[in-house]
Structure 1
């Protein structure tokens, strides 16, 4: 039932919510979601529809990707997904881990590269133009140990 509601609300031709609602709730355009969805399904069999031991369909790929994205987007806890998506806490955590691993595997070469000096200079210009001079430089010092920092925070 939760799969049917999700499809009816966001993905079927006669959807309940508008394109703007989708972008607001998912924090991305639908074509970006579709790309992530398709790539996750192609690379990781976890995101393909299966049947459970009783022969019933398990959670749909749309449900799994939606739950992972909602947890990341809103910082939602895994146990809060049970109410809206009918997915247990442990399944949500497994889904989030599988999704993150898959996305890193698929996109790491394109998006997760180490910055070179040219990239860093471009970023520094961008953040300075937006009123945050020195923002990137402040990240360089996050590895420092603070002698007076509480032990629990070190």
Structure 2
């Protein structure tokens, strides 16, 4: 994470809640700084560090580190959720389609793929349902859609690692608007044929679906 982005998050969370500000206790001693609390939370999220590992260099106890993590996640959702954790608006959709057409893919909404995150502390009783033969270890699957400028506008996380990409797609919320009849309609020409359903660039077995196409 870049320093400017980190400081922007710290500042925004400080405005959101007094928890992420420098405070003093009853005897006028300085408490933990917002930098310490945000660093502790990000370390746990980004590297899987245990809360009790952070005391040595951050001087923050296990209980406080867990509290910081919970407040950090809630703050990120409340402060940035409306802008980043949302579906594309009609304006966003038009922009994505224009970008796709400009790059030689008319009708494309973005690129879709699934990745496996290793679950190191998966309970033994659950390992079978979270392990796939090609992965060898228990995993959780993240399905994401991103535009070329790395705007990740869809993320579906938590599916058991034993699933393949098609199984994940069938459980995903990605096409919920289409099922409701609310999906944006598009019109574009490919090889002289008119199409009115957008698509996503994909690889593997997803290219066999109605909305997945492979780029060559």
Q: In 1, Cα distance between the equivalents of 2:111 and 2:88? A: 10
Structure that is richer in helix per residue? 1
Segments ≥4 residues shifted beyond 4 Å: 135-138
Q: In 2, Cα distance between the equivalents of 1:77 and 1:71? A: 6
Structure 1 unaligned residues grouped into runs of 5+? 1-27, 130-134, 144-154
Give the structure with higher Rg (CA).
2
Q: In 2, Cα distance between the equivalents of 1:138 and 1:109? A: 29
Judged with a 3 Å threshold, the aligned counterparts in structure 2 of structure 1 residues 137 and 105 are, in CA distance, closer, same or farther, namely farther
Q: In 2, Cα distance between the equivalents of 1:124 and 1:98? A: 31
Residue number among 19, 22, 27 corresponding to 1:46 in the alignment: 19
Q: In 2, Cα distance between the equivalents of 1:104 and 1:31? A: 19
Structure that is richer in strand per residue? 2
Does the Cα contact within 8 Å between 1:124 and 1:136 map onto a contact in 2? no
Look up the match of 2:212: none
Q: In 2, Cα distance between the equivalents of 1:60 and 1:69? A: 14
Judged with a 3 Å threshold, the aligned counterparts in structure 2 of structure 1 residues 138 and 32 are, in CA distance, closer, same or farther, namely farther
Look up the match of 2:40: 67
1:80 paired with 2:53, answer: yes
Structure 2 unaligned residues grouped into runs of 5+? 97-107, 114-144, 149-163, 173-216
The CA deviation at 1:52 is: 1.9
Look up the match of 1:35: 8
Higher relative contact order (CA 8 A, sep 6+): 1
